[in-house]
Amino acid sequence: MPDYIVGVEITEIQEEEAGFKSFTIPAGKYVKVEFNGENHQNLVDAKLMTRQKKAKKWAKNEKIKLSNEFTVEAFPKQTVELEHPEMYCLFPIL
């Protein structure tokens, strides 16, 4: 399954723009993990994988079964330029 880098914006898309496709996050239950970094590079290089592993371990310990179909990695537009940018991941629950 390929990886995609996705920007998240709440909007209604009437038609696909050049180079963009819409993806609607399916309704359901998710584990949400929020975190920040010293800068964008630190956020995605050092923290992202660590937080994902911790979230999956936590879910397993809590006997919460996660789907491996997809994971949403979101960088909220309003936080990208902050001194300590934030992001979150959504893991679908089976």
Q: Is the pLDDT of residue 27 over 70?
A: yes
- The model carries a pTM of 0.70
CA distance 37 to 49: 13
Q: Residue 8: name the closest of 19, 24, 32 by CA.
A: 24
Mean pLDDT of the chain: 78
Q: What is the pLDDT of residues 72-91, one digit of tens each?
A: 888 777 776 777 888 888 99
Task: Say what the pLDDT of residue 1 is.
Answer: 43
Task: Say what the pLDDT of residue 22 is.
Answer: 66
Would you say 85 and 37 are in contact if contact means Cβ atoms under 8 Å apart? yes
Domain boundaries, the chain: 1-94
Q: Is the pLDDT of residue 25 over 60?
A: yes
Q: Is the pLDDT of residue 17 over 60?
A: no
